[in-house]
Structure 1
Amino acid sequence: MRKYFMTVMIAVTTLTLIGCGEAPSQTATQQPLQPIDVAKVLVEPVQKWHTYTTRLEAPEQVSLMPRVSGVVEQVSFHEGDHVEQGDLLFKIDARPFAAVVAGLKAQVQSAEASLQQVRSEAKRASRLIAKKAISTELAESRASALTQGEAQLAALKAQLVAAQLDLDFATIRSPIDGVISRTNVTRGNNILAGQTVLTSIVSNKSMYGYFDVDERTWNRSFNDVTAASEQKVVMQKVGQKDFPYSGYINFIDNRINAATGTLRVRAVFEAQNDSLRAGSFARIRLAANNITDQIVIPDRAIGTDLNNRFVLTVGEDNVLQYKLVEVGDRYGHLRVITSGLTATDKIAVNGPARVGPGMPIEPNLVNIDTKDVTFTLSASHESLTASTKEL
């Protein structure tokens, strides 16, 4: 009897220990769900952006060369200065040109005096021939002398004009408004007309940006654009995150380049406090005219699976679902989804970093931030200050 009692007690103790061993397993299945930020996708009117690279060019640029040869007598500017049209830049020793002008002036005066005498004799011959007081040959000779004297005076006056131009060209002035470079020739050096480059000047009030648009893109998005329509563009320089410069298209080439299948287009930008320099590398962003409603989500909500892009959406019973998507342009921290999502979908806004498909969650509903993001280039937003990138 005692042996039977001991057997029963051992069996009861074993069952109790087994029951205690199963309790933690039941507790583990009842852990609280992980809270995850979710948001309803946005539907926004957006314009498709196209980005092109360019080197800025000045509308006017001059390699300054002298029109006459001589010795540089004076340099009248500071390198890198702003100059205006007509400002004095160089002076060439003008004494040889002044001497030529003085000599020709004297010759003109002599010719004028001689012509006056010849003209008087011709008038007298004209009166005498009427009275038959002189021969016809003498009258014709005096008339011919008058014609020769007038021609000689005209030739001397033309030489004087040319000499005066040479004298004027000895003073070299700025032909345009702009910024002047360093001087290549200093005082005392001899320079040759049309050969010696003295310095260079580039205009700085506006800058051109040429870029090439492929034929397919132009026909699809900009076929109705003309230079007169002044299509708006925005630009950023190297090292900038934003596109702070606003401009417009002012030139469209008259034909497609058959070799490249592109159309040459030019945008003009007004320089602001000399912030634009010729030769600068820049990116120009051009917005398509058509505006369409597109689904927009945070770029960080998109995961990558090999060559696929996917988004985790909130399904029934708050279980995350895997959805393949196709992405479009990026606008700041937001990205357009061209297919794979509907306007009613809710997504995990922080992507698959902490969660995965098939996982139940506790959704924490948040709003997608669109502050400082520009989706369209409207009349009230002539400059795009959001950091926008294309895929």
Structure 2
Amino acid sequence: MKSPTKSMIVLLLASLLLAACSSEPAEPQASAAPLQPIDVAHVVRADIIDWSQFTTRLQAPQTVEVRPRVSGVIESIEFVEGAEVKQGDLLVKLDPRPYAAEVDRLTAQRDAALAALKQAQLEERRSTRLRASNAMAAEQADARVFQAQQRQAELAAMEAALQAAQLNLEFTDIRSPLNGRVSNAFIQPGNTVNANASVLTQLVSTEQVHAYFDIDERSWNAQFSDVTAATQLAVYLQLTGENDYQHMGMLDFIDNRVNFNTGTLRVRATFDVADNKLRPGAFARVRIAPQQKISSVLVPETAIGTDLKNRFVLAVNAENTLEYRQVTLGPRIGTLRVIETGLNGDDRIAVNGPARVGPGMPIEPRDVTIDTSALAQVLPETRISSELEQSVAQAR
């Protein structure tokens, strides 16, 4: 007979063996996927100027084609080509001898007319005495009076002709009509030139330049309708090859009507010339703004994505999840872009845009600072003032 204790031990071992065979190994717990690290920054909030930009060609306020006022042969060129000249400087000299001879001839005729007048006046006085004593007929006395008057008129005509001849002699010295810069000599010495026809050279004034440009009437009515020439609206100019708008001028002319063919209004800005940097004919960009400053939201250009016809920015919410924000773009300032609608001043955004991420994706934010150095280049004023002129002069 078996012992009860041994029977219990056998049953226990059998139960343990059965449990070990029937149990399956436990699966390891799945680990969570790591979050994508993304550069995140708060949008930039700044006061900026809403500039309107236009293109233009610079013009000299005065441009003169130098032409001779008398015909003749060029004797000499008296100016240095491309040099600055003053009003009254001698530019070209024509052969004066034919005109000098004409002056001499008319001078002699004037002297003869003067002698004839004196003789006629003497006879007139004599006739007056003889007529008083009834020694001369009235008809003969009157004839001597009329003869004296005729000699007086002949002398006046001869003096006028002499004055015209002296002017022609003076015009053989062709002088600069203004202060400015002269071009090259178009006709060389020895050539015959015709009065008021032959162009000897060209002069442009250099103290100031004008920039004419056209503003469409929609923009003018929306932004500049209260502007007049007396407003002293500041205009900033950039030449080709320059990096910024370093030349400051003033809007001083607004046309009296809108061009019905183009729907634009022509305006003009005047700039003082410094260091001969502004030259007539140069291509330039100008910008103006109607208001002083506008509080705006700005983001880097890299943060802006394109979705078919829309522009958008990925904003980061409180749960560090990306959100799609459709935005309206404003002007560009360096590497930054003004956002007119779609973002608030306290929003956080993905700085590098939708390059590796998309809306609804949780991220690991990596805080960075947006470069705002471009904002330092924005000029703070849109109206001419003594303080503005001084600051721009120091910047130059």
CA contact (8 A) 1:327 1:337 kept: yes
Find 2:156's aligned residue among 146, 154, 157. 154
CA contact (8 A) 2:251 2:269 kept: yes
Aligned to 1:377: 381
What stretches of structure 1 move > 6 A for 4+ residues in a row? 4-12
Aligned to 2:234: 232
- Matched position secondary structure for 2:70: coil
Tell me how far 1:124 sits from its aligned partner. Answer: 1.9
Find 2:89's aligned residue among 69, 80, 87. 87
CA contact (8 A) 1:314 1:345 kept: yes
**CA distance in 1 between partners of 2:184 and 2:222 (Å):** 47
**CA distance in 2 between partners of 1:131 and 1:349 (Å):** 121
One-letter code aligned to 1:288: P
Give the direction of change, closer, same or farther, for the CA distance of 1:141–1:314 in structure 2 (3 Å limit).
same
Greater alpha carbon shift after TM alignment, 359-368 vs 331-340: 359-368
Aligned to 1:250: 252
Give the direction of change, closer, same or farther, for the CA distance of 1:168–1:7 in structure 2 (3 Å limit).
farther
Tell me how far 1:381 sits from its aligned partner. Answer: 5.1
Aligned to 2:307: 305
**CA distance in 1 between partners of 2:148 and 2:49 (Å):** 80
**CA distance in 1 between partners of 2:353 and 2:139 (Å):** 113
- Matched position secondary structure for 1:246: strand
CA contact (8 A) 2:335 2:374 kept: no
Greater alpha carbon shift after TM alignment, 321-330 vs 366-375: 366-375
Aligned to 1:351: 353
Aligned to 1:389: none
- Matched position secondary structure for 2:360: coil
Find 1:178's aligned residue among 152, 177, 180. 180
Tell me how far 1:352 sits from its aligned partner. Answer: 2.4
Tell me how far 1:8 sits from its aligned partner. Answer: 8.7
CA contact (8 A) 1:233 1:285 kept: yes
Alignment of 1:183-222 (within 5 A): 183-222=185-224
Give the direction of change, closer, same or farther, for the CA distance of 1:246–1:280 in structure 2 (3 Å limit).
same
1:55-94 deviations in whole A, cap 9, x for unaligned? 1111001111111111110111121111111111111000
1:126-154 deviations in whole A, cap 9, x for unaligned? 22222222111121111011101000000
- Matched position secondary structure for 2:289: strand
Alignment coverage as a number of residue pairs: 376
CA contact (8 A) 1:325 1:340 kept: yes
Find 1:272's aligned residue among 268, 271, 274. 274
TM-score (norm 2): 0.87
**CA distance in 1 between partners of 2:214 and 2:234 (Å):** 16
Alignment of 1:1-391 (within 5 A): 15=25, 19=27, 22=28, 25-26=30-31, 29=32, 31=34, 33-289=35-291, 291-373=293-375, 374=378, 376-378=380-382
**CA distance in 1 between partners of 2:133 and 2:341 (Å):** 111
Give the direction of change, closer, same or farther, for the CA distance of 1:233–1:6 in structure 2 (3 Å limit).
same
CA contact (8 A) 1:209 1:268 kept: yes
1:253-273 deviations in whole A, cap 9, x for unaligned? 111112222111111111121
- Matched position secondary structure for 1:288: coil
CA contact (8 A) 2:292 2:380 kept: no
CA contact (8 A) 1:326 1:339 kept: yes
Aligned to 2:5: none
Aligned to 1:388: none
One-letter code aligned to 1:331: I
One-letter code aligned to 2:80: H
One-letter code aligned to 1:319: T
Tell me how far 1:110 sits from its aligned partner. Answer: 1.4
Tell me how far 1:347 sits from its aligned partner. Answer: 1.3
CA contact (8 A) 1:331 1:375 kept: no
Structure 1 portions without partners, runs of 5+: 386-391
One-letter code aligned to 1:175: P
Give the direction of change, closer, same or farther, for the CA distance of 1:10–1:123 in structure 2 (3 Å limit).
farther
CA contact (8 A) 1:242 1:384 kept: no
Give the direction of change, closer, same or farther, for the CA distance of 1:187–1:6 in structure 2 (3 Å limit).
farther
One-letter code aligned to 2:296: Q
Tell me how far 1:50 sits from its aligned partner. Answer: 1.2
Tell me how far 1:297 sits from its aligned partner. Answer: 2.0
**CA distance in 2 between partners of 1:206 and 1:10 (Å):** 103
**CA distance in 2 between partners of 1:186 and 1:364 (Å):** 75
**CA distance in 2 between partners of 1:331 and 1:384 (Å):** 19
Aligned to 2:3: none
Query: Which structure: larger Rg?
Result: 2
**CA distance in 1 between partners of 2:190 and 2:18 (Å):** 126
- Matched position secondary structure for 1:289: coil
Tell me how far 1:10 sits from its aligned partner. Answer: 8.7
**CA distance in 1 between partners of 2:124 and 2:146 (Å):** 9
